[in-house]
Amino acid sequence: MHPLLASRARLGTYLLGWVPIALMLTGLARSLGWSWREGAALALPLCLLAALLYLSAWFLCRALPLGRSVEGLSTHAMAWGTAALLMGGLWSGLAWLLARMLAFLPGLDALPQRVGAGLPVLTGLGILLYLAAVAFSYLLLALDRALVAERKGAELQLLAQESELKALRAQLNPHFLFNSLNSLSALTAVDPARAREMCVLLADFLRRSLGLGERRLVPLREELDLARAYLAIEQIRFGTRLQVDWQIDPAAEPALLPTLLLQPLVENAIKHGIAALPEGGTLCVAAEVLEGHVLLRVENPRDEDAPCPQGLGLGLNQVRQRLLGRFGSRARFEALATETRHRITLVFPLEVEP
């Protein structure tokens, strides 16, 4: 189906584009000695016929896609020229028939004679208009191809993000699970009550993570609940070595963000921060709303003797890519490491569920 016929707005804009051509044709007729009435009476319906007739150029252009070879272009040029001659002749013939029909109206009886004298000019103009329609049709085809490519690119990006999310769920940190199971095994012998508590917490965490993983966007509130479930397990593992400071602005909790975006940040803070310090430390998770944006911060102590990280690890890089993939230039990812602290800050627009 012709792309202009698929939308009333497109078709209306296309037909309006012929109005200046009709005015130009009326002015041309006036310069040849026609009256304004004669020129307008012929030009307006004739341009409407051309607008509909020259839609056929799109089908020719679709059958003859542009290539890079000279031979291909010469073959195309012959086809364009032949079609232009035929359509120009047909259009001028329709002009003569239209003039014969309009001659029955008062004051237009001389129209057939005038059109007959101007047939060469009309034929030439029809050829030029058809060639312009060919160029316009190739432009439409190029725009359609660009839209298809953009749509496919968006689909591929979405598939990549979904694959990334599946991989993230699949790796939901195996080390964390192994450590939790080892701690659980040790607790069953010395503290059965805490072992049972850890079993319940671990099951709750896995249930929450699987539930979130089925969705592309979730409120920050649910990401925080998952992080709390994870940290509750880790607090059983680390005991007093792990303290958590929650600084959450209630206004930030409904904000939408990509699924499982906070979890890798918290895991990274435990693995490379708290676990590496014999005395442990305090993990800070903060969220606030500032000028229509959410500032989400995860901060943890780090070993001052350890070298500062160079660049982002795989997990943090995935978080950055997914954040920018969702919000683009409206979002910001910041990583800062000092001698004693490591801080990750995410800034993204405050968007909520309708």
From the list 57, 25, 44, the residue with the least C-alpha distance to 130 is 57
Helix then strand then coil, in percent of the chain rounded to 5, is 70, 15, 20
pLDDT exceeds cutoff 70 at 215: yes
Residue with tokens 């192994």: 178
Higher-pLDDT residue of 328 and 206 is 328
pLDDT tens figures, 308-317 = 665 566 678 8
Residue with tokens 């803070």: 269
The structure's pTM equals: 0.53
Confidence at residue 350, expressed as pLDDT on a 0 to 100 scale = 95
Confidence at residue 224, expressed as pLDDT on a 0 to 100 scale = 93
Asked if CATH classification 3.40.50.1700 holds for the domain at 171-349, the reply, yes or no, is no
pLDDT exceeds cutoff 90 at 165: no
Asked whether the beta carbons of 201 and 232 are under 8 A apart, the reply is yes
From the list 323, 301, 295, 170, the residue with the least C-alpha distance to 245 is 301
Structure confidence at residue 292 as a pLDDT band (50, 70, 90): very high
Instruction: Count CA atoms within 13 Å of residue 157 on its CB side.
Output: 11
Mean residue pLDDT of the chain comes to 84
pLDDT tens figures, 89-124 = 998 899 889 888 988 888 888 888 888 888 888 899
pLDDT tens figures, 143-161 = 888 888 888 877 776 666 6
pLDDT exceeds cutoff 60 at 170: no
pLDDT exceeds cutoff 90 at 283: yes
SS3 readout for 152-212? HHHHHHHHHHHHHHHHHHHCCCHHHHHHHHHHHHHHHHHCHHHHHHHHHHHHHHHHHHHHH
Confidence at residue 334, expressed as pLDDT on a 0 to 100 scale = 93
Amino acid of residue 182: N
Domain definitions of the chain by residue range: 3-156, 171-349
Tokens standing for residue 52: 């509909």
DSSP type of residue 292? T
Measure the CA–CA gap between 351 and 257, rounded to whole angstroms: 8
Residues of the chain with pLDDT > 90, as a percent, come to 21
Structure confidence at residue 74 as a pLDDT band (50, 70, 90): confident
* Cα–Cα distance list, 37 to 6, 91, 96, 103 (Å): 35, 21, 17, 12
Q: Give the three-class secondary structure for 115.
A: helix
pLDDT tens figures, 233-260 = 888 888 889 999 999 999 999 999 988 8
